[in-house]
Structure 1
């Protein structure tokens, strides 16, 4: 059998993936959670290790394991020393001890593993794989034990001849090829045993019973493909006797016919009619159809007739515990088992109730309807609950997503994902550009200068490179080529920013940078709603300018795509509220006259955004509509009715898809839930959508 059929074999694959990702935390946790890696007895639990490694923000690179774990150790030492609560101190001391163990264990482990540099020595890599398999491979079955011994023996034979030093890509390809060839649990045919082998070797055995499995159209006779290095046409031009790749299927058919012709005893042929992993039906091969025609003596039989053949999902005989439990599904008293399972496993019962309720047209607690504590969650009633523009936009985009994040406190797992072709993700890149622009403008403001492309381009470039290098220390790039490409992209964004600002500053003066309210020691801003009630807002405005006419202009830097921004859409159904909220907030916080902020704009100073500005005039009509939107959104919270978005496009970049499962709803059922006239919160949510 291939090594991938065993746990040690899959461990080898996971080790190579971990190394290839520069020892990323994501890849390590994957092999740990799959049960391939046995830790020492004194090790923390897998759940604790996962929590601590994610909390440490390591990402990848062995040096960062030690650096970030040391920082987390010091963080917990400070927490322990500064708390007087005994239970909290006890919990933190437990985490602190686990961190110390984890840090020391990784230091020792990385001493045995090769550095993933531009050049890697083959012998070092093979020795490190040997060390991990020998000391940490999980072996539960005899196949696992046999696989472990086979892999170690294979590595023993390869290591003395491993003398090459290759670049990382060639090295991983070579080592993968060497280890992929390993077959486990090999033996010659034995009496009383099933002997499993490829049909291509079946002609060498004369067995009394032959079973051909996997006879579906994807597996046999194989999909024709071209050799990318030498196409069939080129083969023919070189020599007409060279085999063409498209003839491979014909060769496979001929080999199978040889096997059938040489077999004296009965032959059974089968295929799996349904792929449970991909959740799709599987079609039989032409070979299966021909065998069916031969057995039934019906030469006119076709694939439609094959569909009527019985395809039992439950085996007639019991070989293991799975077969035993599946056999109950055929019994007429199957409901008894269902009731017993639900009684023993309460979550199964709750899941069944949720599934049933989600299929109903009524808006239920399983769709986001809850009895909410208004004194806690309604910001008009709770002066300690401060909202942000982002939270309100989330509430307007999909109130169910707001419910998951803000009410149930469901948070997606945040971890660095290693990508050999990318360095900074969109949020990190945006934060870095914000820092560059803010620092640059603060220097200009201090020197009482306005931006000039001719005078300040080099200064801006120098600042950008300085902050990029600082980010490089915090988050190492996968390689120098990617680092240079993304650096050039950031420098290009700086040039676009400077050119646009040179023109814009002719009629505007920058006054405030990263202006905060409700953050840190700063007081939150108050917004008065049409009901004369108030809500508190916190946030940070990228920049506040003052125009030559004395009015104020709010600028928000955007470093992504302009796709969702249009000149004629002020609110986009409540999804874009920041421009309006910040205008009210800065007027209240700076005690300006109402209407002092005449304009807010989204500025896209990147190659993707092409320096575009989308302006929103903060006139009386816009303010009236905006306040009505805010009132309706707060009423949604008050009602405790958090319906899912009515636009699936809102789901494309949502990190809560796996929890929400909106795509599993029937379209008509979901629409009926969202149009339930008896639900005030649903009506309010639909009312927000009316504002473009």
Structure 2
């Protein structure tokens, strides 16, 4: 009783009536139990179990002017002139036989003929139904559902429905195929004619499914303007035209042209984002849209991939700067302890900033970081035979804490990407080495990558513009070296360096001549920005897996297919550069 009265939720009037009825029954049970003798636990449990199904609330008898509904086994006593019986499909009435798995029908008959069997139960239901029909003195309408809406499966009429049909049509068609006959009419949720509707929902169904449907677009435009604009955008995105709903802002894109004097400052990350998906660039760098922060939830990982990579960059920077200050080259046997000491200091700081969710997660990540440090040291000793570190963490157009090198500058670097066209760019170069190989004099630019190598493998290192760092940083560093170090200084190669468990120390190197092709790609991207063209990517598998704006696009596969349709349409001249990047590179 306490559970029902104090703990059960009561949200509306019907719940209150139900709770009151249950409490009244429980009070009656309590009064009976006080005077009962013997073991009554099993009887009480059975009674409580059946009580929710047996109780009725807000029930009433037949009343004038009202439709009276009752169960098929207990109805038909009101003397009404019109009786409607529903639910006479084969699955529902008289229903499938319910066989006791512990005592089969044959075994029950052998024990006693009085024991109920599944076949007797069905016979009793049919007999009760026949008696129901026999006591009627008016019109009787039998109906069944011929379709299961949940499974979209056809249903058959029950045996009693079939028998009634055969009685009135002894030589006619079967009830299952008699739907064309006037005596067996198919009806649905939409009333016909219109004067038969009872509710607003039925009126809408009748209008929509009838012969004179309303102008849905006019109704949406007038009463639901937001839905109307949603319909327009859906139609536009499904077409082959590049519209404002697909990221085409037209002349307004001139404000975001990076080649103008007051245009936005670019970075490698911004350009690679645009080449990957111009629409995500628009969301992130023009609209400055950010994903709402979700409540902090416990995870199985301590540091994210980005956080772990940032910590490793810090460790490598500190270690190389110490070696440069001492004028020494890395040696595994000598420097292993010092490198791990620097790593431990970094880990301790990270632990204070972000306590790990569990010690197992902490130790698992520590092992990965230590393995990355070991790979880095081994690879550095090998590389020291042909090059020497000269500059570390060179900041261009960014503030830098600590000591500054001759290459660091807070002003952006200006690059000429085509004759007379310039962009301002900023960034941070992880490391610049000087080659000691007489056959390849010059400088080597390295960028640490702590993730996978998939994007950087293959014949096309640019990967349709998704990788531009090697070309841009080669041009930037070369210009800085010529101005600050020596007029004849040159960068003869750029390398992506993977000192991690995933990358296993792999170095992927690009040649000096990649600058020309990189400038061509950057110039094409800038022309798209100038025209205000920000289409979605046409490769969801490649670009949408880790995109923070995937929820905005919804079905990313559909969005990518629609974008491909627009890119392939030669009539969309504003997408010519994006078409070239995707189809030519």
Alpha carbons of structure 1 residues 473 and 322: separation in structure 2 relative to 1, 3 Å: farther
Alpha carbons of structure 1 residues 283 and 444: separation in structure 2 relative to 1, 3 Å: farther
**For 1:581, which of 462, 472, 476 is the aligned residue?**
472
Work out whether residues 572 and 691 of structure 1, in 8 Å CA contact, stay in contact via their aligned partners in 2. no
Alpha carbons of structure 1 residues 435 and 330: separation in structure 2 relative to 1, 3 Å: same
**For 1:500, which of 341, 354, 379 is the aligned residue?**
379
Work out whether residues 390 and 434 of structure 2, in 8 Å CA contact, stay in contact via their aligned partners in 1. yes
For 2:478 and 2:187, the matched residues in 1 are separated by 71
Correspondence for 1:685? 578
For 1:492 and 1:363, the matched residues in 2 are separated by 49
Q: Is 1:651 matched up with 2:544?
A: yes
Shift of 1:399: 2.1
Alpha carbons of structure 1 residues 262 and 271: separation in structure 2 relative to 1, 3 Å: farther
Q: Is 1:544 matched up with 2:435?
A: no
Work out whether residues 553 and 600 of structure 1, in 8 Å CA contact, stay in contact via their aligned partners in 2. yes
For 1:567 and 1:642, the matched residues in 2 are separated by 27
**For 1:189, which of 15, 38, 55 is the aligned residue?**
55
- Give the structure-2-normalised TM-score: 0.66
Correspondence for 1:566? 457
- Output one character per residue of 1:162-186: Cα deviation in whole Å (capped at 9) or x when no partner: xxxxxxxxxxxxxxxxxxxxx9x95
Work out whether residues 560 and 608 of structure 1, in 8 Å CA contact, stay in contact via their aligned partners in 2. yes
Correspondence for 1:438? 317
Q: Say which SS state the counterpart of residue 349 (structure 1) adopts.
A: helix
For 1:464 and 1:143, the matched residues in 2 are separated by 66
Q: Is 1:603 matched up with 2:497?
A: yes
Correspondence for 1:70? none
For 2:360 and 2:16, the matched residues in 1 are separated by 43
Aligned ranges 1:13-162 → 2 under 5 Å: 141=12
For 1:492 and 1:259, the matched residues in 2 are separated by 73
For 2:189 and 2:394, the matched residues in 1 are separated by 64
Question: What runs of 5+ residues in structure 1 fail to find an aligned partner?
Answer: 4-129, 150-182, 195-204, 222-240, 242-254, 275-281, 303-308
Work out whether residues 536 and 559 of structure 2, in 8 Å CA contact, stay in contact via their aligned partners in 1. no
For 2:12 and 2:392, the matched residues in 1 are separated by 63
Alpha carbons of structure 1 residues 192 and 479: separation in structure 2 relative to 1, 3 Å: same
Shift of 1:535: 0.2
For 2:557 and 2:187, the matched residues in 1 are separated by 30
Work out whether residues 448 and 496 of structure 2, in 8 Å CA contact, stay in contact via their aligned partners in 1. yes
Shift of 1:269: 7.7
Correspondence for 1:278? none
**For 1:532, which of 420, 442, 452 is the aligned residue?**
420
Alpha carbons of structure 1 residues 670 and 524: separation in structure 2 relative to 1, 3 Å: closer
Q: Say which SS state the counterpart of residue 602 (structure 1) adopts.
A: strand
Correspondence for 1:641? 533
Q: Say which SS state the counterpart of residue 246 (structure 2) adopts.
A: coil
For 2:332 and 2:197, the matched residues in 1 are separated by 79
**For 1:369, which of 229, 248, 266 is the aligned residue?**
248
**For 1:386, which of 252, 259, 265 is the aligned residue?**
265
- Output one character per residue of 1:447-486: Cα deviation in whole Å (capped at 9) or x when no partner: 3332222222222223223322322333333222122212
Aligned ranges 1:247-646 → 2 under 5 Å: 263=125, 264=128, 273-274=149-150, 282=151, 329-330=208-209, 334-335=213-214, 339-373=218-252, 375-415=254-294, 418-520=297-399, 522-549=410-437, 550-566=441-457, 568-590=459-481, 591=483, 593=487, 596-619=490-513, 622-646=514-538
Q: CA RMSD in A?
A: 4.5
Aligned ranges 1:179-218 → 2 under 5 Å: 188-190=54-56
Work out whether residues 376 and 382 of structure 1, in 8 Å CA contact, stay in contact via their aligned partners in 2. no
Count of aligned pairs? 461
For 1:529 and 1:602, the matched residues in 2 are separated by 23
Work out whether residues 418 and 519 of structure 2, in 8 Å CA contact, stay in contact via their aligned partners in 1. yes
Work out whether residues 17 and 57 of structure 2, in 8 Å CA contact, stay in contact via their aligned partners in 1. no
Shift of 1:569: 2.1
Shift of 1:498: 1.5
Alpha carbons of structure 1 residues 609 and 340: separation in structure 2 relative to 1, 3 Å: same
Deviates most, 579-588 or 590-599: 590-599
For 1:257 and 1:457, the matched residues in 2 are separated by 84
Q: Is 1:664 matched up with 2:564?
A: no
- Output one character per residue of 1:290-344: Cα deviation in whole Å (capped at 9) or x when no partner: 7768855899989xxxxxx989677999999877866764466653565344323
Shift of 1:682: 1.0
Alpha carbons of structure 1 residues 598 and 268: separation in structure 2 relative to 1, 3 Å: same
Shift of 1:557: 1.3
Shift of 1:647: 2.6
Question: What runs of 5+ residues in structure 2 fail to find an aligned partner?
Answer: 21-48, 61-71, 76-84, 103-116, 130-141, 164-172, 178-184, 400-408
Work out whether residues 413 and 476 of structure 2, in 8 Å CA contact, stay in contact via their aligned partners in 1. yes
Work out whether residues 561 and 609 of structure 1, in 8 Å CA contact, stay in contact via their aligned partners in 2. yes
Work out whether residues 512 and 543 of structure 1, in 8 Å CA contact, stay in contact via their aligned partners in 2. yes
Alpha carbons of structure 1 residues 357 and 462: separation in structure 2 relative to 1, 3 Å: same
Alpha carbons of structure 1 residues 467 and 292: separation in structure 2 relative to 1, 3 Å: farther
Correspondence for 1:279? none
Shift of 1:615: 0.8
Work out whether residues 635 and 681 of structure 1, in 8 Å CA contact, stay in contact via their aligned partners in 2. no
For 2:476 and 2:576, the matched residues in 1 are separated by 28
Alpha carbons of structure 1 residues 666 and 580: separation in structure 2 relative to 1, 3 Å: closer
For 1:329 and 1:256, the matched residues in 2 are separated by 46
